[in-house]
Amino acid sequence: MLDALVIGAGPAGLMAAEELAKAGRRVVICEGKSSPARKFLMAGKSGLNVTKAQALPAFIAAYQSPHMAPFLAEFGPEAVMDWCNHLGADVFTGSSGRVFPKAMKASPLVRAWMARLAGMGVELRSRWRWVGFDDGFAFDTPQGRTVLHPAVTVLALGGASWARLGSDAAWVPWLAEKGVRITPFQPANMGFHVDWSPHMAKVFGQAVKGAALCVNKRRERGEFIISSKGVEGGGIYAVSRDLRQGAALQLDLMPDVSVDEVAQRLSAMRSSETLVNRLRKLGLSAPALALVMEFGRALSPLQAVKALPIPLGLPRPMDEAISVAGGVSFASVTPDLELRALPKTFVCGEMLDWEAPTGGYLLTGCWASGRWAGRAAAAA
């Protein structure tokens, strides 16, 4: 009988495998793709944000899921930074509190990690795609169909975004048939469709910087991109959960200048001047000015600058989202992340029903839950 099986070689699965191997279990990782950590490597191409240097209570609160608290208390920002440094992927903290490897990319970290796992006796089987249950865990492999019967299993198959990199949620019906409760997936940290007029094409691909995004009673500073499809980027992602739930979006395009000061500047201008000229004199960038001309013509110049409504359409499709909400309900797992319907089978990472913003929270959540599940599986 196989001792310990991990299905999925993303951050959560690799962390579970490491904990199992540390405990002396003989570990096999089965990965459907030709190489491990495909989504992890893609996400790290523009700068791998591993965590955020933040007080633990505030860090945990960002997840909006009390179920994540125990995992994060055990493996939060400080522990992540220590782990990276001990792996040889030394990190630094940026001005925003975000933490990055000095190499900035994911590939050096993955190479060092895979070498360490191999040294611990962990076996990686690539192109082993899990295809469901058949009196065991059935796989399509380069050698044909194979069924494994492990003593313990950790499932780390990802969520439902970026299917081309492996997170395709094919596992949902197989677990549901076993009685596992699955909260339907929704896109998270995603852009939104906007029905632009043709004149907006001139600013497609440009960023609106330094705005405050006002949603419900929240004000989030951040930049976002105007694309042909709508709006996307860090500022939008920070409020995407509320927007997905139907909240309205307003922009304060001059958040560092008070309403009174903006009103004073406008009143000092000649009333005969065009709206465009007045807005330019206020210092609005070309993309910000385009947004005002798109949605603020019927408003007073003051309101258009300080409270510009942006009518959003639907969220962009799930496969364009950075992450997802939904997944295996915490009601279906024990505190050790063992599936109640499938004893000796544990789940972790984006398979679980939690949601977090970008900025290091997603990766830390995957690592922390993978570590928790791996330790529990090792003791099972």
> Tens digits of per-residue pLDDT, 182-221?
999 999 999 999 999 999 999 999 999 999 999 998 999 9
- Within 13 Å and on the Cβ side, how many CA atoms surround 293? 21
Contact call for residues 216 and 247 (beta carbons, < 8 A): yes
Which of 48, 51, 49, 69 has its CA nearest to residue 60?
A: 69
The predicted structure's pLDDT at residue 362: 95
H-state helical runs in 151-196: 172-177
Judge contact between 338 and 346, C-beta under 8 A. Answer: yes
- Mean pLDDT value of segment 262-276: 89
Q: Rounded to an integer, what distance in angstroms lies between the CA atom of residue 176 and that of residue 181? A: 6
133: nearest Cα among 115, 114, 150, 116: 150
CB 50, CB 100: distance < 8 Å: yes
Using CA atoms, how far apart are residues 57 and 116, in angstroms rounded to an integer?
32
Q: What is the mean pLDDT of the chain?
A: 95
Strand partners, 137: 133, 148
- List, as one string, the DSSP characters of 306-364: HSEE----SBPPGGGSSEEEEEE-GGGB-TT-BBTTSTTEEE-GGGBS----TTTHHHH
Residue type present at position 285: S
pLDDT surpasses 90 at 15: yes
Report the topology of domain 4-187+321-379. FAD/NAD(P)-binding domain (3.50.50)
Dist. CA 364–CA 380, nearest whole Å: 24
Residue type, 326: G
Distance of CA 79 to the CA centre of its chain: 20
Domain layout of the chain by residue ranges: 4-187+321-379, 192-309
The predicted-structure confidence for 277-305, as pLDDT tens digits, reads as follows 989 999 999 999 999 999 999 999 999 99
**How far does Cα 313 stand from its chain's mean position?**
21
| Residue 326 pLDDT exceeds 80 | yes
Amino acid at position 329, single letter: S
pLDDT over threshold 90, residue 44? no
Tell whether the model's pLDDT for residue 60 goes beyond 70.
yes
* Global pTM exceeds 0.85: yes
Q: Which residues contact 261 (CB under 8 A, 6 or more apart)?
A: none
| pLDDT bucket at 273, cuts 50 / 70 / 90 | confident
Question: What local confidence, expressed as pLDDT, does residue 321 receive?
Answer: 93
Closest alpha carbon to 250 in 289, 279, 218, 227? 218
Nearest CA to 367 among 19, 67, 3, 7? 19
* Three-state DSSP class for residue 69: helix
